[in-house]
Amino acid sequence: MTLFEGDYVHILDWYHLQGKVRDLMTMIAPDKVLKAAYCEEVLGLLWVGKGAEALVCLQGYRYRNASKWEELQGYLSKNETHIIDYKRRHGLGKLIGSGRMEKAGDVLIAHRQKEKGMSWSAKGSTALAVLTAHYQTGATDYLQ
């Protein structure tokens, strides 16, 4: 059994994407004025799903920290296929963030694992997550 069965779309969470860009730009841009301009341009392109264009912009920027500049380029390149048109998706009322999923994980799984005296292996934690998800979605009704 695989953890994710069927069709699903993997998108990069907008909240974390913009946080990563802003954090790295703080160390990349030579000053606050350029940081604001760089963030506005790159995040504007990413908001409408133009990851390749954001990378092109990044190539032309002056930077003060080459390793952080390369880190941001690598991050955007690695995740380019997961960067979507967030503006359009948001306009359609669809989720662009992982907040609900993270909260569900906290409520359904983490709470159980944080009971006094409990310890969990990675394999046991994954098994609990799968079983809890199946139970919550009714996929285990056949067991009753």
CA torsion, ordered 132, 134, 135, 141, to nearest 10 deg: -160
Tell me: pLDDT of 108 over 80.
no
Residue 59: C-alpha distances to residues 18, 45, 65, 101, 108 (Å) = 18, 14, 14, 34, 43
pLDDT at position 95 is: 81
> Which of 28, 21, 71 has its CA nearest to residue 47?
21
Q: What percent of the chain has pLDDT over 90?
A: 56
pLDDT at position 1 is: 42
Mean pLDDT of 18-33: 96
pLDDT at position 5 is: 60
Token pair listed for 11: 């998108």
Contact by Cβ (8 Å): 75, 42: no
**What kind and span of H or E run contains 28?**
helix 14-28
Domain ranges of the chain: 14-91, 99-143
Residue carrying the six token digits 């504007």: 44
| pLDDT greater at residue 46 or residue 118 | 46
- Per-residue pLDDT reduced to its tens digit, 38-66: 999 999 999 999 999 999 999 999 999 99
Q: What percent of the chain has pLDDT over 70?
A: 84
**pTM exceeding 0.75:** no
